[in-house]
Amino acid sequence: MAEDLNIAKGNKNEQYSSLIPQIAALLSGESDQIANMANVCAALKEQFNFLWVGFYMVKNNELVLGPFQGPVACTRIQRSKGVCGTSWDQSQTLIVPDVDSFPGHIACSSASKSEIVIPIIRNHKVIGVLDVDSAELNSFDDTDALYLSQILDLIQF
Ligand code: SME
């Protein structure tokens, strides 16, 4: 079965609006979390050409690298460390327009300039985060936060 993505042009809203039904179709009928996380990363990377898209999952009280697309990344992040660990600790989406201005930012890639981290919350607990990095400043806003959390809702954790 062909699984080619239809890559939309246009503004962010138009791009996410085209992408989300395609991700829903890609994930439907598949319950394997790793397979679905992997395809979500690939779809986001292909549509937006982000520098890095990936998951960190909570295991034994630390974040451990999961499926991702992009340059190699640090494997483990402690709670409240970096943008990911802070998002976990605060159970909040964090939008970082300039990573150099975020105290304690963990630079996995020197090319990363801005970042968004969305916590994955199930049964009132953060079980992981979705981390997206851009090679440009100010890439992310509330539109990304909204649509990325909708995409996370498509994955059965
Ligand atoms: N910048 C993140 C670390 C993960 S990498 O960006 C892939 C942070 O500060 O938590």
Ligand 1 center to 2 CA (angstroms)? 33
On whether the CB atoms of residues 47 and 7 are closer than 8 A, the answer is yes
Instruction: With a cut of 70, say whether residue 62 has pLDDT above it.
Output: yes
Ligand 1 atom at minimal distance to the Cα of residue 73? 7
Ligand 1 center to 108 CA (angstroms)? 6
Name 130's bridge partners: 55, 118
Q: In what order do the strands lie in the sheet with 62-69?
A: 76-78, 62-69, 52-59, 125-134, 114-122, 94-96
39 C-beta closer than 6 A to ligand 1? no
Where does the pLDDT of residue 49 fall: very low under 50, low under 70, confident under 90, or very high at 90 and above? very high
Give the DSSP letter of residue 112: -
Ligand 1 center to 71 CA (angstroms)? 12
Q: What is the mean pLDDT of residues 58-86?
A: 98
SS3 for 78? strand
What is the reported pTM? 0.97
Q: What is the mean pLDDT of residues 107-134?
A: 96
**Pocket of ligand 1, candidates 68, 78, 84, 86: which has the most ligand atoms within 8 Å of its Cβ, to mutate?**
84
Please report how many Cα atoms fall inside a 13 Å half-sphere around the Cα of residue 16, on the Cβ side. Answer: 14
CATH of 12-154 given 3.90.1010.10, 3.40.50.150, 3.30.450.40, 3.30.70.60: 3.30.450.40
Q: What is the pLDDT of residues 83-106, one digit of tens each?
A: 999 999 999 999 999 999 999 999
Question: Which pLDDT belongs to residue 1?
Answer: 45
CB-count burial class (<10 Å; 0-12, 13-18, 19+) for 87 = buried
3-state helix, strand, coil in the chain (%, to 5): 35, 25, 40
Q: What is the pLDDT of residues 5-34, one digit of tens each?
A: 999 999 999 999 999 999 999 999 899 999
How far, in whole angstroms, is CA 74 from its chain's centroid?
15
On whether the CB atoms of residues 5 and 20 are closer than 8 A, the answer is no
Q: What is the mean pLDDT of residues 119-137?
A: 97
48 C-beta closer than 6 A to ligand 1? no
Q: Report domain extents, the chain.
A: 12-154
Where does the pLDDT of residue 2 fall: very low under 50, low under 70, confident under 90, or very high at 90 and above? low
The overall average pLDDT reported for the chain is 96
